[in-house]
Amino acid sequence: MNKTNAMPTAESLNQVQDLEQGKQAGWREYIAISKTGIVMSNLITTFAGLYLAAYYTGTTLGSDPLTALLALLGAAFIIAGGCALNNYIDRDIDHIMERTKDRPTVNGQLSGKQTLTYGLSLSIAGTAFLAMTTLMAAVIGLAGLVTYVVLYSMWTKRTTTLNTIVGSFAGAVPPLIGWAAIDPGLHPFAWSLFLIMFVWQPPHFLALAMKRSDEYKAAGIPMLPVIAGFAVTKRQIIWYVAALIPVSLLVADFGIIYTISAVLLGGGWLVLGLAGLKTKDDLKWAKHMFIFSLNYLTILFVLMVIVHMF
């Protein structure tokens, strides 16, 4: 008898049931699909938005710690919720990629229903927390969530190389959330922070896409390195890094220390990027570009806060 037409055994039916219902999942599995690394890095930029908004409105976070706490909790919950919903959407392809094959949504520790319920619950709670600060913060958070889950995860991620740009809109929202929690009018500096985050993300994620190009190709995800190749991707990365230098100086009013640091950080990243035009080891170059991008963002936003403390 052809095996594809054979009746399912009791054992195979039990395996399917385990995947559908989920095993006894503990908090570790839920933490895993929350992508705490992403949450923490985004909270740095959220806090920067909070702190700077308080500074430029003549207040301090210490004068209203509850608002700051609700903003950070709201941002953390809505980002974690979006990550969980992304896991729910991608569970049909995650088993193909090395970096996602051990997710609880792939190995059966969490069922689709559990993941969806968790993601929606976090998203709703995060939106509610943000609404307790200002309505604008909640609207911005919800807009970022919809962009990430619907426009990116459900649509453009699997249809176009422009997925990186669409995802960048959602990824640039955290500092706006923080600022709006204090100042819903959104000072021009708030939009400058958004723009810095927006331009930073394509070179960051394109470097990652180069590192994982074989996995994306196997999963049918049309990332730029898969569709256009490494040479085109490297040029795109370099152009974005070059554009980020003047964009980072939109907030040159933050002072000479910030300005010099932003130029040096951006210049260093650009030099590293240009070196990629001659390198023979594209994957090693992409790894270095990815690591530099993480350090760049962390240092830049932490510095924004520090220069306003003195």
Please, are residues 206 and 224 in contact by the beta-carbon 8 Å criterion?
A: yes
24 pLDDT tier (thresholds 50, 70, 90): low
| DSSP calls for 107-165 | HTSS-HHHHHHHHHHHHHHHHHHHHTT-HHHHHHHHHHHHIIIIIIIIIGGGT-TTHHH
Alpha-carbon 242 to chain mean position? 21
Distances in whole angstroms, Cα of residue 99 to Cα of each of 84, 145, 275: 16, 23, 27
pLDDT tens, position by position, 209-257 = 999 999 999 989 999 999 999 999 999 999 999 999 999 999 999 999 9
Q: Average pLDDT, whole number, for the chain?
A: 90
| Alpha-carbon torsion, ordered 179, 183, 185, 186, to 10 deg | -20
Task: Report the range of poorest mean pLDDT among 14-23, 101-110, 174-183, 185-194.
Answer: 14-23
Cα 76–51–70 angle (5° rounding)?
35
* Overall average pLDDT of the 12-36 stretch: 64
Q: How far apart are CA 145 and CA 6, in angstroms?
A: 44
Show the CA angle centred on residue 196, arms to residues 190 and 201, nearest 5°: 130
Rounded to whole angstroms, what are the CA distances from 275 to 37, 141, 232, 281? Answer: 29, 38, 15, 11
Q: What is the pTM of this model?
A: 0.88
Q: Does pLDDT of 5 surpass 50?
A: no
Who's near 58: CB < 8 A, 6+ residues apart?
none
Give the angle 238-244-248 at the CA atoms, nearest 5°.
Answer: 160
